[in-house]
Amino acid sequence: MKVTAVIINLLYFLALAPFLEGVMRKLTARIQSRQGPPLYQPYLDLLKLLGKENLNAAGHPVFRLAPLLAFASILSAIALLPLAGQSSFLAHSSDLMTLIYFLTLSGFSILIGALASGNPFAGVGASREMMTIIMLEPVLAMTLILGVVRAGSLNLLTATAGVSSARGLSYFLMMAVYLVALQAFVSRQPFDIPEAEVEILEGPYIEYSGPNYALFRYTLNLKRMFYSWLFVVGFLGFWLPGSPVLNLVVQTVLILVLFVLISVVGATHPRFRMDQALRFYAALVLLSLVAVGLGVRGW
Amino acid sequence: MTGTEALWLSLSSLLLSFLVTIVLGKKVRLVRLTGTILISLGCFFLAWQGVMILGTGQPVELELKLAGIHIPVLIDGLSALFLLLLSVLALGSTLFAYGYYETTETKIVQKVYLALPVFIAGLVGLLTVDDLGPGFTLAWQLMAISSYLLVRWGRPIKFSRRPALVYLAFMEMAWVLITGSAFLAKGYHFGDSLAAIGQKLSGSGPVATAIFLAMLLLGFGLKTGIFPLGQLWIPGAYSTASPPVSALLAGILEKTGVFGLIRIFFFVARGAGAGFNPDLWGQVLVVVGTLTLFIGTVQAIKQSDYLRLLAYSSIGQVGYIVLALGSSLLAWHSGSPLAGIIFAGAVYHSLNHGIFKSLLFLTGGSLLHATGTRDLNRLGGLLAVMPVTGVLAALASYSISGMPASSGFVSKWLMIAGNFLAGKDSLLLTMAGIVALFTAAFTLACYVKFFGLAFTSAGASWKLKREIREVPGSLLVPKIFLAVICLSQAFLPAVYIRVIGRSLAATEGFLLTGVGPESLKTNPIGLRIFEGPALLAAVAPLAMLVLLLVLTFLARWLRQSAGAKEVRVPAWLCGYQDLNKNNVYADRNMFSDLKKFFRWTGANKNLVIDDDELPGSVSREEKGVIS
């Protein structure tokens, strides 16, 4: 029974994540006056990739291990989430810091896979990806810490509920910062610098193809959904209904709305340069520090 | 065999090793062999003594009389714990040194084996003497002079003279500060025990106490490497000494500074009574620790010399410990039971960092042994030729980055989580916790760079003239030994926390009273590491590992589900040419925008000179980096 709860967590994310990418692709295409692929295209893409040859440019075991670890660690993070207002079965041996480190582990796997491939484009991509992780992880951490400061516990359920438990100045400031950072969390324009197709050819993923690439693609989809989910549950959590089923439905609708927003911003903005983005992220980090400070003061 | 006898046997083995080296003279093969055996024997007795004291829970108090001078000796639970760490690290380094010095010239080897036992004996002394007078001076000078010589003999003299002298100068400065501080206690008699100094301090007023503590913070801080003092000597000394010695410097020498800070702020200060302001000193330690951990780690990212990278990162990791000591004081002052948890985290991190940083330095030693270069720009793709070293390096890098299911995760979690919860009403603690968490990502970046560019990626086969092979078994065994301990620290945190609790229970005069094994079990943080039966308590990190493994197998199944075949292909470079030494991604390009952004943190000079190069002939500049 308890283990099924974890499985429901995983299934919810696994089933929905590619669909959200479909929404994103369709909307982007429409904004750019194209027809766009059908909404279920990402599922087909994943299936197609799984059937292709697995090209290995490195010969390292690390190159082969990286996609597995990236996919497994993002799923581990998802398994810990209090979906639909229910504490996870794993909550007693994990907490907020486990979650943050699992997310970092997922990013780290992509990097190490990229470096293992030996391709200089992948190297550039890995370097950019790591810089993004360094500068953005604190924004995510501080959002949750705002909840910790309010709730006085590192348990994920209470901490996420804590974020929106008092809606003062700190809450609105943090929400604004998170919304801007979201575009970078999901690596869409103007912050898709680590991948930057036209510039460094998908950076970290350049040497990956077939099933390995499918795992990375899936990881990216799951990550995007995770960050949107966190916004909905963290900042709009007070507004979600109590019944688990209804809660899940409302959550899903809100995540969809958020994806519409991400797509619109992504389709209408050009990409930043890395040094510009770093300054931008630094401002976000400082603002979220201010928000936590206000939170400690009780505002 | 009692604890005291074991200590004497240990010191005698070290002395014997020193004497035998003199007698054997130029027969270096024999010198290495007997030195290794005798020092290992010394480590064994030392460990025995530590286990005896932790086992019986009885501190040992002695009064040594040397030529009419009385030296008080106190070996309590805390000393025993650090002595255990010392014995493990000294054993690892000594075994490693046996293989490492095989190809070194005769004169150097002879001298190293004279200095090494003296150095270890000095460290034993620092952890056992109970004064700031003659005994402390003896131990400190043994430690300082022998390690100065070891640093000096670590590289050709043209590279080592300056860093070694700087190192000695700062060690002597620290000695002056520490021994001088005690004279501020009213009625101080040169050679008083620490407890007596604490009591005399209570009569000397708050100003004298404050200056006393400030001098000791500077003195021990110099040794621990707090910002900005650590930056003055640590990078030079650690990258100059040969790696088995650096492993000891970073693993335990630094920790004796931590030990000193604990002794002062959690023992002596208690005796000072009203003159000691825990709120003020807690804040000072928190600010200093936070600065140290942030700046040290950011500076580490900028290094292409992997030994310097490890050195700067040591400064960063020690910052975590100092921060935790400060927040523990603050939490205790506000009556929070979190004080004990944060303190246990600090001690645990000292043990963890000792092990994985030694392992990393021994990895550095293996790289130096196998490739002859200390420049990450010239390495790459070593995992294929040095698989065992590579896997062990991955474990150590993973642990120091504090990723889940690693030893670094447990101790950083204790410290940072404690900080956030204790900081519920304190802006300072919350901010310090955030910086600490932020810095964890920098640490990760640092070790992604270290592991990624040395072991994965590509390059060494083109950029180095020699053929690279895996290091011999004598260099692998000590690393495997440390790696096993590192793994046990990750998966048996409950056992280690219990041992820490036990050692505190066997320590008299501890400031945070009641922080024995019992109170460590009641844990106000969400995670139940300490609660419940020992078996259950030990499995929390294991549960996370199992989760990760199960999901990895799921991913593997998914990858195989359509029966895809793997095909080996060359790297694709837009159709231009094959991968070669002109187009691989070199270390200096890594994080170039970030390095520019954090230019203000210093240590930007990034010129690596190998032993066989002339300082003037090297001109690998930072121009034209790819970002």
Cis ω for the linkage preceding B156 (within 30 of 0): no
Amino acid residing at B37: I
Pick A249 or B186 by higher pLDDT.
A249
Residues of B in contact with A122 (CB under 8 A): 585
pLDDT of residue B575: 66
pLDDT of residue B322: 93
Q: Chain A, 209-238: which have a CB under 8 Å from a chain B CB? A: 210-212, 214-215
Confidence class of residue A277 from pLDDT cuts 50, 70 and 90? confident
The strand pair at B566-568 and A54-56 is best described as parallel
The residue of chain A with its CA nearest to that of B448 is: A112
Residues of A in contact with B554 (CB under 8 A): 72, 75
Asked whether the beta carbons of residue A50 and residue B561 sit closer than 8 angstroms, the reply is yes
Torsion over CA: A260, A265, A271, A272 (sign):
negative
The residue of chain B with its CA nearest to that of A133 is: B441
pLDDT exceeding 90 applies to what percent of chain B?
Answer: 20
Asked whether the beta carbons of residue B413 and residue A97 sit closer than 8 angstroms, the reply is yes
Contacts of B131 (CB under 8 A, 6+ apart): B71, B72, B191, B192, B193, B194, B197
- Any idea what DSSP says for residue B268? I
CB B142 within 8 A of CB B121: yes
Contacts of A198 (CB under 8 A, 6+ apart): none
Is the pLDDT reported for residue B335 higher than 70? Answer: yes
pLDDT exceeding 90 applies to what percent of chain A?
Answer: 5
Q: First vs last Cα of chain A: how many Å apart?
A: 41
Residue in this structure with the two tokens 């005769």, named with its chain if needed: B106
B474: nearest Cα among B366, B360, B364: B366
Rounded Cα gap, residues B551 and B405, in angstroms: 15
Name beta bridge partners: A55. B567
Name beta bridge partners: B69. B66
Rounded Cα gap, residues B180 and B174, in angstroms: 10
Asked whether the beta carbons of residue A137 and residue B441 sit closer than 8 angstroms, the reply is yes
The strand pair at B60-66 and A54-56 is best described as unpaired
Domain of A200?
A: 2-296
pTM over 0.80: yes
Rounded Cα gap, residues B346 and B352, in angstroms: 10
The residue of chain A with its CA nearest to that of B444 is: A108
Residues of A in contact with B547 (CB under 8 A): 76, 79, 90
Token representation of residue B429: 């603690």
Rounded Cα gap, residues B247 and B89, in angstroms: 8
A68: nearest Cα among B554, B349, B370, B346: B554
Helix (H, G, I), strand (E, B) or coil at B353: helix
Is the pLDDT reported for residue A113 higher than 70? Answer: yes
CB B224 within 8 A of CB B65: no
pLDDT of residue A196: 67
Among A76, A95, A158, A279, pick the best mutation site for testing chain B contact (most B Cβ within 10 A). Answer: A76
Rounded Cα gap, residues B338 and A192, in angstroms: 42
Is the pLDDT reported for residue B622 higher than 50? Answer: no
Q: First vs last Cα of chain B: how many Å apart?
A: 62
Q: Does A122 touch chain B (CB under 8 A)?
A: yes
pLDDT of residue B619: 52
Rounded Cα gap, residues B227 and B612, in angstroms: 32
Helix (H, G, I), strand (E, B) or coil at B62: strand
Range name among B131-135, B171-175, B338-342, B519-523 with the lowest pLDDT average? B519-523
Q: Chain A, 136-165: which have a CB under 8 Å from a chain B CB? A: 137-138, 141-142, 145, 148-149, 152-155
Rounded Cα gap, residues B574 and B577, in angstroms: 8
Rounded Cα gap, residues A26 and B42, in angstroms: 71
Among A14, A47, A53, A119, pick the best mutation site for testing chain B contact (most B Cβ within 10 A). Answer: A119
Asked whether the beta carbons of residue B548 and residue A127 sit closer than 8 angstroms, the reply is no
- Any idea what DSSP says for residue A39? T
CB B351 within 8 A of CB B83: no
pLDDT of residue B119: 92
pLDDT exceeding 70 applies to what percent of chain B?
Answer: 90
The CB density around residue B71, as the number of other CB atoms within 10 Å, is: 23
Residue B567 phi/psi, 5° resolution? -125, 130
Residues of A in contact with B594 (CB under 8 A): 131, 134-135, 278
Among B448, B528, B599, pick the best mutation site for testing chain A contact (most A Cβ within 10 A). Answer: B448
Alpha-carbon distances of B30 from B20, B37, B242, B475, rounded to whole Å: 10, 11, 21, 18
CB B358 within 8 A of CB B92: yes
The CA-CA-CA angle for residues B90, B95, B100, to 5°, reads: 115
The CB density around residue A284, as the number of other CB atoms within 10 Å, is: 20
Residue B69 phi/psi, 5° resolution? -100, 135
The CB density around residue B273, as the number of other CB atoms within 10 Å, is: 14
Residues of A in contact with B561 (CB under 8 A): 50
Asked whether the beta carbons of residue B597 and residue A123 sit closer than 8 angstroms, the reply is no
CB B341 within 8 A of CB B418: yes
Is the pLDDT reported for residue A140 higher than 60? Answer: yes
pLDDT of residue B344: 84
Confidence class of residue B617 from pLDDT cuts 50, 70 and 90? low
Rounded Cα gap, residues A160 and B31, in angstroms: 62
How many domains does chain A fold into?
A: 1
Given A68, A138, A141, which is nearest B555 (Cβ)? Answer: A68
How does pLDDT run across B273-291, given as a tens digit for each residue? 777 888 888 899 999 999 9
Contacts of B202 (CB under 8 A, 6+ apart): B271, B272, B273, B274, B275
Asked whether the beta carbons of residue B593 and residue A282 sit closer than 8 angstroms, the reply is no
A61: nearest Cα among A123, A129, A124, A113: A113
Residues of A in contact with B574 (CB under 8 A): 201
Helix (H, G, I), strand (E, B) or coil at A62: helix
Q: How far is A30 from chain B (nearest CA, A)?
A: 31
Among A65, A108, A201, A222, pick the best mutation site for testing chain B contact (most B Cβ within 10 A). Answer: A108
Q: Chain A, 163-202: which have a CB under 8 Å from a chain B CB? A: 201
Token representation of residue B184: 């501020």
Asked whether the beta carbons of residue B559 and residue A215 sit closer than 8 angstroms, the reply is yes
Confidence class of residue B581 from pLDDT cuts 50, 70 and 90? low
Q: What's the average model confidence in pLDDT over B445-473?
A: 80
Rounded Cα gap, residues B152 and B240, in angstroms: 7
Cis ω for the linkage preceding B228 (within 30 of 0): yes
Asked whether the beta carbons of residue A278 and residue B585 sit closer than 8 angstroms, the reply is no
Rounded Cα gap, residues A224 and A259, in angstroms: 9
Rounded Cα gap, residues B217 and B265, in angstroms: 9
Token representation of residue B580: 């070669």
Domain layout of chain B by residue ranges: 278-521+570-603
Q: How far is A291 from chain B (nearest CA, A)?
A: 11
Residue B531 phi/psi, 5° resolution? -80, 165
Rounded Cα gap, residues B314 and B296, in angstroms: 8
Is the pLDDT reported for residue B347 higher than 70? Answer: yes
Burial status of residue A31 (CB atoms within 10 A of its CB: 0-12, 13-18, 19 or more): middle
Range name among B133-147, B162-176, B217-231, B452-466 with the lowest pLDDT average? B452-466
Q: Which of A122-148 are b and which e, b meaning 16 or more Cβ less than 10 Å from the residue's Cβ?
A: bbbbbbbbbbbbbbbbbbbbbbbbbbb
Q: How far is A31 from chain B (nearest CA, A)?
A: 31
Q: Does A95 touch chain B (CB under 8 A)?
A: yes
Rounded Cα gap, residues B326 and B292, in angstroms: 13
Name beta bridge partners: B62. B73
Among A2, A62, A93, pick the best mutation site for testing chain B contact (most B Cβ within 10 A). Answer: A93
pLDDT of residue B359: 92
Contacts of A129 (CB under 8 A, 6+ apart): A107, A110, A111, A114, A194, A203, A204
How does pLDDT run across A11-49, given as a tens digit for each residue? 889 988 999 889 988 888 888 888 888 989 999 998 888
Cβ pairs bridging A and B (under 8 Å): 260
pLDDT of residue B618: 52
- Any idea what DSSP says for residue A166? S
DSSP secondary structure of A66-110: HHHHHHHHHHHHHHTS-GGG---GGGGG--HHHHHHHHHHHHHHH
How does pLDDT run across A223-260, given as a tens digit for each residue? 989 999 988 888 887 777 777 888 888 888 888 898 88
CB B517 within 8 A of CB B498: yes
Asked whether the beta carbons of residue A211 and residue B558 sit closer than 8 angstroms, the reply is yes
Confidence class of residue B144 from pLDDT cuts 50, 70 and 90? very high
DSSP secondary structure of B91-134: HHHHHHHHHHGGGS-HHHHHHHHHHHHHHHHHHHHHHHB-BSSH
Rounded Cα gap, residues B94 and B78, in angstroms: 24
A44: nearest Cα among A61, A63, A57, A25: A25
Among B447, B547, B595, pick the best mutation site for testing chain A contact (most A Cβ within 10 A). Answer: B547
Given B431, B452, B570, which is nearest A57 (Cβ)? Answer: B570
How does pLDDT run across B493-542, given as a tens digit for each residue? 777 877 887 788 777 777 776 554 445 544 433 333 444 333 334 456 67
pLDDT of residue B172: 92
Q: Chain A, 236-295: which have a CB under 8 Å from a chain B CB? A: 274-275, 278-279, 282, 285, 289, 292-293
Q: Does A103 touch chain B (CB under 8 A)?
A: no
B243: nearest Cα among B189, B200, B305: B305
Asked whether the beta carbons of residue A57 and residue B591 sit closer than 8 angstroms, the reply is no
